[in-house]
Amino acid sequence: MSCLFGYCGLPAPGLLTKMANLLSHRCNLGWEQVNGKLREEYVIEIGHGIAPWCQNSQVMQHNQCFLGYAGTIFNAPFTLPFDTPDDISISHQMEQWLNDLTYAPNTRLEQLEGAFVMALALGENFYLLRDHAGVKVIYWTVHQGRLLFASEIKALFADSSVPRRMRSGALLEYLSFSFVPGKRTMFEGIEELQPGSILTFSQGQVKIRRHFEFEKQENFLQKPNARQYHTEAVRTALETSVQECCQVSTHKPPGVFLSGGIDSSAVLAMTCKTLPDVRIPTFSVNFGAEYPNENEFISLMQKRYRTNHHELEIRPADFMTQLREIVWHLDDPIGDPVTVPNYLMAKAAAKVTNVVLNGEGGDPCFGGPKNIPMLLTRLYGPMPGEPSQSWLARNYLHSFQRCYQDLTSLVDPAVFKEAGGEEALFAILEPFFNTASPQAFLNKLMSLNIRSKGANLILVKVEKMSSANGLLALPPLFSRRIIETSMACPPQLKLEGTIEKAILKQAVMDMIPEPIIARPKSGMMVPVQFWFQGEMRRYAKKLLSKKHLKRIGLLNPDYVKRLLNYEIEGVPGLRHGLKLWMLITFLLWYEQMVESFD
Amino acid sequence: MRCPNCRHDQKYQDGMTCQKCRYQFVFDPKSDNFHDSLIYQMVQQLSDNGQYYFTKTQLVMEIYKYRHKKESSSFGCLISAIFFGIIVAAILFETIGTFGSLGFGVIIIIAIIWIRLPKKWSILEAKKAIGRYHQIHPIEHLVDGKAFIRIPEARISPVHKIHSLDSIEQLADGKAIITMSGDMISPANHQIQSIQQPLVQKTAALQSQESVLNEFFFSPERILIVERDDIVDMLIRNHFHQNTKTVVVSQSGYPEFVFTACQHFLKKNPNLPVQVLHGISTEGFRMTNQLRNDAKWQFARSNLVELGISREDIAENKSSLPWACHINQDIIFSQKYNKMLTKNRHVPIDYVPPNCLLRALSGAVISDTLLLVALEEASHISYSYESYG
């Protein structure tokens, strides 16, 4: 729900409706539009799928200003939502804002905070924005002088002349990271606007400026009582972020996705503090009694805060028939089995509420489980014969533990070569390691995790899975405020010895039971390796059959067979289950998004 | 002789260079106990086609296990040799009489056994063979315990502009001089070595390590002390430190810089476990105590935890282990650990291939115990839950 789509440029009658049709799953409550002529043979059309959490208009037109947004803006300097899109008697505040916008568009737009994407035509200039962290997503392409934009890639193909070609480097990137990092997507010519960026389209030219440079918040000045200072800063930032999120849902109380970890527990604790008289609905998953779960920790929070808890048991039989649809909703493939619990939890939560808060952001902003391995890598330095330029990137990919080590065996050699090989992958990561700012290595890792894994994997996955079910998912731990606060925090307060997210734990220590504070990072333990040796084996074998793989011609069927058979020899590592999941996701994506249109 | 590169069956009279692909044979089948295909196959197997790094000990063990399997099948060879000998004797009985046919039968039996039985090698012979092969065909994934040795401290000073060898100023401290062009001049023999590229690399690494020393707010989850330097190389090059958040050093303090880091880690985190890993030997069983009494390791004295393999564990072992001894002797496969230990034999910790050792060790460092049975069973599939937080 609440999607944004449209175009700017030569008139294309019926295009907006076609885009809306392709996004019909996000326009269940209908959609609204605003359009107008900017100059001769130059129009703007903006569509917005109406959201259940905000059933008023999110598009408007005033004079030569056309605006539409999806999501929610926390600090809009005007009254939102608008009463109707045709309301020409806009508020004084809005008029003032629009005037300011005319003189200093970038400054005004940069100040907007929330979980949103926005399209704005002002005079002959067109702007596209994405919020600071990237909670909401927007894609764009320029084709035949026209800029098209949409919350999902599939809507861009409403213009049937837009080429639908898989980018040559995309498969390698996907297999190495399990998502496509950066501004590029799986498709040639289609880009994802990066968080904290403003795209300007003028005179047929695109310029993109990243205005959110949180790396500059890095601060090495020793404050007196640094620990106390930063603990309070984190606490305040989290409180404010949660308050902002809670204000979005006016009709129903927001829900909280609870995993049993420190991040979601901190969010729940703050939510209950913000809404003390409300029984907050919480949601968690498990995969059956025979598999490890975090119920013990979830129960601690649920009992302490007396939430209205909903537990969901997920088994392959529950989702295998929906897997194709789930991948279709993802748009660009994301090879993360957590997408399924995300989707099913959102589906369950949508019956109870319109807005949920989650704990996403805790790891990228305060130090995740990959930091110590990379710090140890740096301790030993490059191996003999290892080029000094790319050794950190190589080790980062290795520690990511996806299919990087399998590439030469898994991918067709011609595809591997055309994609640029390993060097193309290193080139994505090296800027993060080579940048002058931030200086501290831990902060470099943070920046990489926020801008890459956070922006292009975590937030995108959550956004797609929640929007598919009419839910708005908000991550208080991924707000602009939190990102800047954490960057300003000295590395030694974020990672203290082996204690990750130390400062966050300190900030919420009084609100979270001690076993949750003390437990090491776990992550959602999706038992894919057991599924693929059990209930999903036949499904996987059918989908990853030699016949299918040869038809696609990108992957080595013999190597895939070794993964299916869980062979150890010749297969690096033991993460066969995850690799199979990534391959299945890719196949389902390819069939629906590429092959069916060839 | 089969070319390991292109599988061409090279005739002996065609010489030591493969007629098809120009591969240079190392071993002469008529005079050497080894052949190129054997080493090549062992390397491929151990590294799992280039995935893993391994020690020389692991390669020697792999060769010995291969031979041990052949010896085990030699019993069948003996039976078939006897059977064949009897058949031949029976056929020739009519022609050459009893003694003649019996004699012929025995000769046939001995000949078959002599041809089929694998030749014996000492450890030294095996290592020499590996060394010869490595010289001609460098084994990329063979570690040597020198991966993290940094060049001796050298002074880079713009003041020491050397225009000619005659004007070299001998430094009082005898350190090498680095010229502006990046050449190193040894104070001992004034020989110039061009080391610019490696120096740049090393400098980058050293700078990286120096800044890491300044950032000792973090800690690994444990420190692992191993017996030999090459075991450090093997574990690190196989990313063991990344996968288990473990710092690995040898008992001699290699790598030096990492050893220094360990002191910092323990200062910041006094409860950090320091696990001791050793093979099956009298020296190994004493290793933890020796470290406790070693002045160099005083800072870790109270954190030392023996990981394995323990004496108690070996007592429960039922399988035949490869017991090595003096370099000039053979490896013996035996279950009789007491007897072997009495004879000063030992089983090195890296007697199993790297993938097996890594798998067993990854679990062991978390549970604080390495069981011999875990090493033996490490080739079986065992999955833990994967998390994708």
Is-contact B212 A378, C-beta < 8 A?
yes
Indicate if the pLDDT at residue A531 is higher than 60.
yes
| pLDDT score at A298 | 95
From residue A323, alpha-carbon distances to A130, A557, A563, A581 in Å are 29, 22, 20, 11
C-alpha distance across the termini of chain B, in Å:
54
Confidence (pTM): 0.87
Task: Give the pLDDT band (50/70/90) at residue A302.
Answer: very high
Is-contact B247 B262, C-beta < 8 A?
yes
User: Rounded to an integer, what is the distance from CA B152 to the centroid of its chain?
Assistant: 26
Task: Give the pLDDT band (50/70/90) at residue A147.
Answer: very high
Q: Are strands B155-156 and A308-313 parallel, antiparallel or unpaired?
A: unpaired
SS3 of residue B226 by DSSP: strand
- Of residues A155 and B41, more confidence is placed in A155
Question: Within A4-91, where are the H helices?
Answer: 15-22
The pLDDT > 70 percentage for chain A reads 96
* Backbone CA torsion sign across A337, A339, A344, A349: positive
Nearest Cα residue to B218 out of A220, A505, A440: A440
Token code pair at residue B355:
């993938």
* Pairwise CB contact (< 8 Å): A380 & B258: yes
| pLDDT score at B215 | 66
| Dihedral of the alpha carbons of A245, A250, A252, A253, in degrees to the nearest 10 | 40
- The residue-averaged pLDDT of B203-221 equals 65
Interface of A with B in 244-263 (CB under 8 A): 261
Residue tagged 């404010």 (tokens): A240
Q: What is the pLDDT of residues A419-450, one digit of tens each?
A: 999 999 999 999 999 999 999 999 999 999 99
Residue B31: partners with Cβ closer than 8 Å, 6 or more residues away: none
Q: What is the pLDDT of residues B342-356, one digit of tens each?
A: 888 899 999 999 999
Residue tagged 């400098």 (tokens): B203
Residue B229: partners with Cβ closer than 8 Å, 6 or more residues away: B145, B146, B250, B252, B254
Residue B346: partners with Cβ closer than 8 Å, 6 or more residues away: B279, B280, B281, B282, B283, B284, B323, B324, B325, B340
Chain A residue numbers touching B211 (CB-CB < 8 A): 441
| pLDDT score at B34 | 79
B335–chain A nearest CA distance, Å: 28
Q: Are strands B155-156 and B177-178 parallel, antiparallel or unpaired?
A: parallel
| pLDDT score at A560 | 95
A369–chain B nearest CA distance, Å: 9
* Backbone CA torsion sign across A191, A193, A197, A202: positive
| pLDDT score at B211 | 59
| pLDDT score at B206 | 53
Rounded Cα distance between B173 and A17, Å, is 82
ipTM of the complex: 0.89
Q: Are strands A205-210 and A499-500 parallel, antiparallel or unpaired?
A: unpaired
| pLDDT score at A80 | 56
A570–chain B nearest CA distance, Å: 6
SS3 of residue B322 by DSSP: strand
| pLDDT score at A72 | 93
Residue tagged 């089948």 (tokens): B29
Helices B74-116 and B56-72 cross at an angle (nearest 10°) of 100
Task: Give the pLDDT band (50/70/90) at residue B278.
Answer: very high
From residue A508, alpha-carbon distances to A47, A262, A273, A514 in Å are 41, 9, 12, 10
Q: What is the pLDDT of residues A253-291, one digit of tens each?
A: 999 999 999 999 999 999 999 999 999 999 999 999 999
Residue B34: partners with Cβ closer than 8 Å, 6 or more residues away: B27, B121, B129, B133
Residue B266: partners with Cβ closer than 8 Å, 6 or more residues away: B223, B272, B274, B299, B300, B303
Backbone angles phi, psi at A328, to 5 degrees: -60, -40
Token code pair at residue B37:
């295909």
| pLDDT score at B216 | 72
Is-contact B179 B185, C-beta < 8 A?
yes
- The residue-averaged pLDDT of A108-122 equals 94
Which of A149-153, A223-227, A386-390, A395-399 is the most confident on average?
A149-153
H or E segment and range at residue A312: strand A308-313
Is-contact A435 A394, C-beta < 8 A?
no
| pLDDT score at B174 | 40
| pLDDT score at B325 | 83
Cross-strand partners of A49? A31
Q: Are strands B304-308 and B274-277 parallel, antiparallel or unpaired?
A: parallel
| pLDDT score at B247 | 97
Count CB atoms within 10 A of the CB of residue A271. Answer: 25
Q: Is A276 exposed, middle or buried (0-12, 13-18, 19+ CB in 10 A)?
A: exposed
Is-contact B53 B77, C-beta < 8 A?
no
* Pairwise CB contact (< 8 Å): B212 & A363: no
Interface of A with B in 275-304 (CB under 8 A): 291-292
* Pairwise CB contact (< 8 Å): A372 & B245: yes
H or E segment and range at residue A257: strand A255-257
Interface of A with B in 552-571 (CB under 8 A): 566, 568-570
Closest partner residue to B219 among A497, A528, A577, by Cβ?
A497
Closest partner residue to A378 among B212, B219, B355, by Cβ?
B212
| pLDDT score at B65 | 82
The pLDDT > 90 percentage for chain A reads 78
| pLDDT score at B203 | 46
* Pairwise CB contact (< 8 Å): B217 & A497: yes
Which of A48-57, A220-229, A312-321 is the most confident on average?
A312-321
Backbone angles phi, psi at A335, to 5 degrees: -85, 60
Closest partner residue to A497 among B205, B247, B268, by Cβ?
B268
Residue B282: partners with Cβ closer than 8 Å, 6 or more residues away: B341, B344, B346
